[in-house]
Structures are given as structure tokens and as C-alpha cells.
A and B are shown apart, each in its own frame.
Chain A
Amino acid sequence: MSNEWPLWEIFIRGQHGMSHRHVGSLHAPDAEMAIKNARDVYTRRNEGVSIWVIEAKNIAASDPDAKGPLYDPSNSKVYRHPTFFNIPDEVGAM
């Protein structure tokens, strides 16, 4: 049996940010303590207004060895970037 607390990945929504961003990871015995630890470790300089935590083992990740087949095909498809449109300022951030 491991004596280590499980690893949690921490996501913080910043003061002006619109989405939660991954800021790092920490150890905690359960989700509630993970949020408290995240508050103490990652928001002590007033960085956040919302915290998400997820146990690291619950994150499914893509296979690093499959980089080629996964990402290379989208390399040269510039027409997929919506940079050909002018967005009026009134629309705000998208």
C-alpha cells in the first residue's frame, strides 16, 4: 500500500481569464482537501476566482508516440484558421 496521497491536477480560473487553466499539481487525501491545498498553494498571490481539481489518474492522455499520425496532418491547412474574417470590436473576446 502506498503512503502517498493521490496526485491531483489543479485548474484555476484567473481574475480576468475566462477559462480554467492548468497551473500544476499537488498531493491531497481527497477532493475537498485538494481544493483547500490548491487555494493555499496556487492562489496565495490573488491569482484565482475559481478552482477545479481532478485526480491525475482520471485524466486520459494522448499517446506521445503517436504524434505524427495525430498532429502532422493538420500542419498545412491554413484555411482552417478563421483569420480571413474581420470581427467587429463590439463582439468582444471569442
Chain B
Amino acid sequence: MDLKEALERFALRMGDNTLVLGHRVSEWCGHAPVLEEDIALANTALDLIGQTQFWLGLAAEVQEEGKTADNLAFLRDAWDFRNLLLVELPNGDFGRTLMRQFLFDAWQSIYLPRLAKSSDERVAAIAEKASKEAAYHVERSADTVVGLGDGTEESHARMQKALEYLWPYVGEIFATDEADDILAEAGVAVHPESLKDEFYDLVTRVLNEATLDIPQDLFFHKGGRNGVCHTEHLGHMLTEMQWLQRAYPGATW
């Protein structure tokens, strides 16, 4: 694998994460428990879709196959997606959605500022812009996780359940491969492994404040980041997300 292939894979991973999570979060639009949260979730979804345009745009540029970010978003099938399994899981209740958001935001809020120092100017520029959004997202989702975790008996129980459901998907963030080594070597993207301590410190601090018990089981699911095996949920999500372009190829508005 050369640097170009590694960069393409990296950009796809970043873009697929934000695309799939952005779509998931947008599913709350009009359904959130209160108006303020509804608008806040829609804002977060839009931020993530905005980041997707940049990351998938970069992936298309590196590919040099004449594709656009839209082509990559709407015309690939599940097995070509490189997002973490964590982001494709169904939303569940509001608590689970916010717990997943926090786990993702915590990672992004640490990762993106490092990527802003990338030796590749395009990566640095995207990360610089996205890191401001991630800094706000993590503040908001961490507050909500603490509020609900350290809330009523019911909200606490739901958040504990959400954490236990999602925790086995967190480890995949650090399931690295050759592409990560090549990019770290070239100074294009810090190695995910190097963020591990900082990530778990942040997550542990917030979850402790939320009075939640972190599961001790070290097993984790993988297969999204490397595209080997997504969950059954991604295909269903894409069916809905890509429907219009599949039914009316090339439709614009």
C-alpha cells in the first residue's frame, strides 16, 4: 500500500463516519423529546454532513476517478463503507443516541485538533474547521450524559444500559491497520493508538461524573473500519438514505 491509497482509505473512513452518524442523528429531526434538543440534534447532524462533504470530497480527489463526494455518499453499497460500527447502530432511545454521540465526540474532539497539524494541507484545513464543531459537540453531549446519568432513577438506568450496549463498539476506534502506520509515518495523520490514553481519560472522567459504571469486558466488535463485515443495520440505513438517487439516478433539485 502506498501513501495515496492510505490517504484515500483515511478520507473514506473519516467521511463515512460523519455521513453515517450525521444521517442517524438526522433521524431525530421532529422526534426529539423537547424542541430545544430537536434543533440541537439537527444542528449536529448538519455539522457532520458538512464535514462529510469535505472528507468524501478529499477521498474523491485522491481517487482521481472523476467521482464527487455525492457519488461516494449515494452510489456505494454497504460493503464499500469504512465507518465504525458504532455510528451505524440504530439510535435506540434519546439516552443511547446521546451516549453514542458523546463517545464519538470525545474521540473526534481529541483527534481533529491533532489532524489540524497534518503535513497534508487539505487534511489540516478540514480538521481545523471540524475541530471547532467537535469541541462544541463534546461539551454538549458530555453535559447531557452527565445530566441523564446522574439524573433520575430511570434516566440513570437507561444511560447505564446504553453504555453497556455501546461499549463493545468503542474499541474499534483503535483497531488500526497498515494505512494508519503509513499515514503516521508521513505525518499526514497521527496514529489512532497515540490518542488512546487521552480518549479513555476523558471518557472515564465524564462517565464517572455521570455515576455510570464502565464495563470491564475487553471484547470489542470490528469490521466496519476495515469494511470486512458491517452490522445488518447499515444496509437498511443506506436503503433509506440512498433511495432517491437509486430510484432516479442523477436527480438534482
Q: Which residue numbers of A lie inside 8 Å of B, CB to CB?
A: 5, 26-29, 32-33, 36-37, 39-41, 44
Contact = CB atoms under 8 A, between A and B. Distances in A.
A61 B39 CA distance: 30
Given A32-B143, A33-B143, A5 B34 contact: yes
Interface residues of B, number: 11
Contacts of B185: none
B43 A27 contact: no
A37 B147 contact: no
B143 A26 contact: no
A40 B139 CA distance: 13
Given A36-B139, A36-B140, A40-B43, A29 B36 contact: no
Contacts of B143: 32-33, 36
Q: In terms of DSSP, what is the predominant structure of the interface of chain B?
A: helix
Contacts of A41: 35-36, 39-40
Interface of B: 34-36, 39-40, 43, 136, 139-140, 143, 147
Nearest to A32: B143
A44 B36 contact: no
Given A33-B143, A36-B140, A27 B39 contact: no
A40 B39 contact: yes
Given A33-B143, A39-B136, A40-B39, 10 more contacts: A5-B34, A27-B36, A36-B40, A37-B39, A37-B40, A40-B36, A40-B43, A41-B36, A41-B40, A44-B39
A28 B35 CA distance: 10
Contacts of A32: 143
Contacts of B34: 5, 27
A40 B147 contact: no
B71 to A, nearest CB: 29
A37 B36 contact: yes
A94 to B, nearest CB: 35
A38 B253 CA distance: 32
Contacts of B43: 40, 44
A33 B140 CA distance: 8
Contacts of B140: 36
A78 to B, nearest CB: 45
A29 B139 CA distance: 16
Nearest to B41: A40
Nearest to A43: B43
14 contacts: A5-B34, A26-B36, A27-B34, A27-B35, A27-B36, A28-B36, A36-B40, A37-B39, A37-B40, A39-B136, A40-B39, A40-B40, A41-B35, A41-B40
Nearest to B40: A40
Contacts of B139: 36
B42 to A, nearest CB: 9
B155 to A, nearest CB: 12
A44 B147 CA distance: 24
A1 to B, nearest CB: 12
A32 B146 CA distance: 13
A40 B41 CA distance: 9
